[in-house]
Structure 1
Amino acid sequence: MSSPSKLVLSLTIATTLIAPALAYDFGRPATPDEIKLWDIDVRPDGKGLPEGRGTVANGKEVFAENCAACHGEAGVGGIKDRLVGGAGTLSSDKPVKTVGSYWPHATTLFDYIHRAMPYTSPGSLNVDDTYAVTAYILSLNGIIPADGKLDKASLPQVKMPNRDGFIPDPEFDPARLFREK
């Protein structure tokens, strides 16, 4: 068979296989409820926070059961990242980056715990337990009181020690990433 004949045969076979697939409508638009299951990010201003509440006291219990094995009994001394301390070290030769010294937004802590923790079972904590663990870690860092509680309204109001330590790059325009060149 000559090369032009092979090409014609290949195109005929490809068209025969692809054309039926193009004639069908695959899938369907996601429903609002389906989108909501995946729309779980939380912004610094608190947009996206779910309803719920948690206390430092409850957070201490949840932390002991789910977090202490990796982060240490009080957020220090575990095999994973230190969560407590480091205040005043960021401008030193040996900065200690923790929730209390480095993180700019308390809502980011909630979001990270809710999606990625505990390490062995990410996303397994319910919303109230996530608020509680967030409250406990913030309390260990002296950011909220030992009898503190958090919810959708109060969490965005928490002033983190390094909130003003991050300066946006005035040249960075995230929309530019999606514009056609």
Structure 2
Amino acid sequence: MSTPKLTKLFMCLACVVIATDAEAQSRAQAPQLGTPMSKADVAKWDITVFPDGRGLPSGHGTAKEGRAIYVQKCASCHGDQGQGATAEDLVSGPMPPTAGHPNKAIGSYWPYATTIFDYLRRAMPPSAPGSLSSDELYALTAYLLAANKIISESDEMDALSLPKVEMPNRNGFVPIDAKK
């Protein structure tokens, strides 16, 4: 091999060694926080429910069943009729929001019934988020929809019926959908 070719080869090898060493040094300087998540761990957190119902689990519930859950797990913060207490009001009736300072209760503000289910599953009750079963979540969602006079108390909510609920403020938002 000629000298210029050997020189180029050695320069390339030197660049690889330097780059590898620099990456190793930067890794050593970075804080070693946490551990990588497995696919199973990621799947536990991949619980997004989209407006069209993608992501909803199996299960079902009615407003009557949801009322008992509400009294037990929600009323202390949201009031016995959803009128608000230490936390926001949930019941407003199906009226459109007013400009400026809209009431952000479920009946007048939320655009999709599936969002109620998704939020409840992720965040409620505050002392034990993620602790409600799918049946409890459907029942509680049905109760809140019925309390807001959006569905009948006898309507059963499940993965097929919940996305079909027409919320009064459905057209009050710009739709964004990150298709999977």
TM-score range, shorter chain: 0.7 to 0.9
CA apart distance, 1:74: 1.3
CA spacing shift, 1:89–1:151, aligned 2, 3 Å: closer
Does structure 2 retain, via aligned residues, the 8 Å contact 1:86–1:95?
Answer: no
Amino acid at match of 1:65: Q
Does structure 2 retain, via aligned residues, the 8 Å contact 1:54–1:150?
Answer: yes
CA apart distance, 1:127: 0.8
Q: Secondary structure at the match of 1:150?
A: strand
Amino acid at match of 1:64: V
**Do structure 1's residue 100 and structure 2's residue 107 form an aligned pair?**
yes
Correspondence for 2:56: 49
After TM superposition, the structure 1 stretch with the greater mean CA deviation from structure 2, 34-43 or 123-132, is 34-43
CA spacing shift, 1:35–1:66, aligned 2, 3 Å: same
Q: Which has the larger radius of gyration?
A: 2
TM-score (norm 1): 0.73
CA apart distance, 1:147: 1.2
Task: Structure 1: state its 5+ residue gaps.
Answer: 1-14, 175-181
CA spacing shift, 1:50–1:79, aligned 2, 3 Å: same
TM-score (norm 2): 0.73
Correspondence for 1:30: 38
CA apart distance, 1:107: 0.3
Give the distance between the partners of 1:149 and 1:44, measured in 2 at CA. 18
Task: Please report the RMSD computed on the Cα atoms of aligned residues, expressed in angstroms.
Answer: 2.7
Write out per-residue CA displacement over residues 82-138 of structure 1, whole angstroms, 9 at most, x where no aligned residue. 000164362256532210000000000000001100111111111110110000000
Aligned length: 150
Equivalences for 1:69-148 in 2 at 5 Å? 69-85=76-92, 87-88=94-95, 90-91=97-98, 94-148=101-155
CA spacing shift, 1:94–1:126, aligned 2, 3 Å: same
Amino acid at match of 1:45: D
Give the distance between the partners of 1:162 and 1:86, measured in 2 at CA. 11
Percent identity between the aligned chains? 46
Task: Structure 2: state its 5+ residue gaps.
Answer: 1-20, 29-34
Correspondence for 2:66: 59
